[in-house]
Amino acid sequence: MKRILLTALATLPFWACASVDEMADKIEPKVIEWRHHLHQHPELSNREVETAKYVAAYMKELGFEVQTGVALTGVVAVLDSGKPGPTVALRADMDGLPVLEDNDLPWKSTARGVFNGQDVPVMHACGHDTHVAMLMGAAAILADMKDQLRGQVKFIFQPAEEGAPEGEVGGAEIMVMEDVLKDPDVDVIFGLHIWSKLDVGTIAYREGGIMAAVDPFKLVVKGKQAHGAYPWLSVDPIVTSAQIIMGLQTIVSREIELVEDGAVVTVGSIHGGVRSNIIPEEVEIVGTIRTLNDKARDHMYEAIPRKVKAIAESMGAEVEITLPLDYNYPVTYNDPELMREMLDTVIRTAGKDNVVNRKPTTGAEDFSFFQKEVPGLYFFVGGKPLDVKAEDAPAHHTPSFFVHDDGMKTGVKLLTNLTLDYMAKN
């Protein structure tokens, strides 16, 4: 009997003697407390000063080596087990959005900030408050388990995931440029996003592209101004722009192999002219491209200039193309081999019935910059109460956005288990 028991123990992960579930239960009240504080005190991108202080103070309390001011307001903490092994990075984003909260909560945000020179309300309308709280919870558990770890854990609290203000840079791309994945060199990175339309207790995953690349663009169509009564004297940039906008859609509908390569082209802004009876000299068009793999992305970069220039030339107009416009994110790409290696961990964390292989989304995430440097996995964790239908759950980036505190324990356990299992396997 003793020999059978020893054989069984030898097949378990090295940390199995400590129950992550029990430790997650124990830390959950603190995770909720942290989330409520962060939700009441949101800060905009590149302005997460107090959030960073709050996080850094706790990481120091845990005894970690802490670095602040990374990519302006980011915090990086390192837990060193003192034993050889891989370096696992865990990431949470910290910034809120210029949204006025419309929820009746004791911890509702009434904060305000300055966004591109304007005084605005600020709200954690995408759940980044929960991401920070979940990573703090995982840090607390892993600190307690330090003697059982092999290698190092790097906790990355990232600013400006929602995009830096005008005239600034920020986010994951800048963290990578500032060598956040170095010293110690990161072997693998894990991240997650709470989701308002996914059941509490559920984890969604996908091999390959799970979130789209984003590439904003600007077109300036230049024509010849004339009186609106005499259009034959003009080169009309408005009519030309209309043809261009319709032509852009044919790239997706006629050039992209939609059963294999997802893509979206959206024009979100058109500006031109000042009066009804004046054909203007130029029109500005601003839009976004979303693609789910590099093949589709490369095709859009080739096709848009080709299509736009040809249409403008056919109308006698000229066009200036800026692509990408300012920021752009790669595809959030889950390394297939790593996903297959860690899928058992995901299933054990939430239970087989609560793990969903989801379709990709055309939303974007700058976590993708980390994945361009090292293998990484990105997951969605449910935040929707079970008694709410998915279609009735408020969407992200809206005033009524809401995710339940109960969803965070699954995220804490997932980040912890991924770290422990990866160390055990590598």
From the CB of residue 12, how many other CB atoms can be counted at a distance below 10 Å? 10
- C-beta separation of 244 from 312 below 8 A: yes
**Given the residues 48, 161, 162, 199, the one annotated as active site:** 161
Is domain 2-212+331-425 given the CATH code 3.40.630.10 in the classification?
yes
Catalytic hit among 48, 95, 236, 366: 95
pLDDT tens-digit series, residues 105-149: 999 999 999 998 999 999 999 999 999 999 999 999 999 999 999
Is 285 in contact with 245 (CB distance < 8 Å)? Answer: yes
CB within 8 A of 166, min separation 6: which ones? Answer: 116
pLDDT at 327: 80
Closest CA to 77 of 147, 132, 18: 132
Architecture of domain 213-322: 2-Layer Sandwich (3.30)
Burial of 269 (0-12, 13-18, 19+ CB in 10 A): exposed
Catalytic residue at 101? no
Condensed to tens digits (0 to 9), the pLDDT of residues 289-325 reads 999 999 999 999 999 999 999 999 999 999 999 999 9
Taking alpha carbons only, the member of 132, 294, 320 closest to residue 221 is: 320
Higher-confidence residue of 333 and 260: namely: 333
What is the predicted pLDDT for the residue at 213? 96
Q: Is 161 a catalytic residue?
A: yes
Q: Where are the domains of the chain?
A: 2-212+331-425, 213-322
pLDDT at 303: 97
Confidence of residue 187 (pLDDT cuts 50, 70, 90): very high
Q: 213-322: same fold as 2-212+331-425?
A: no
DSSP assignments along 25-67, one per residue: HHHHHHHHHHHHHHHHS---TT--HHHHHHHHHHHHHTT-EEE
| Farthest-apart Cα atoms in the chain, separation | 98
Shortest CA distance to 132 belongs to which of 215, 61, 192, 222? 192
Which residues have a Cβ under 8 Å from the Cβ of 373 and sit 6 or more positions away? 176, 181, 186
Rg, C-alpha atoms of the chain: 24
Cβ atoms of 131 and 93 within 8 Å: the answer is: yes
Q: Quote the pTM value.
A: 0.90
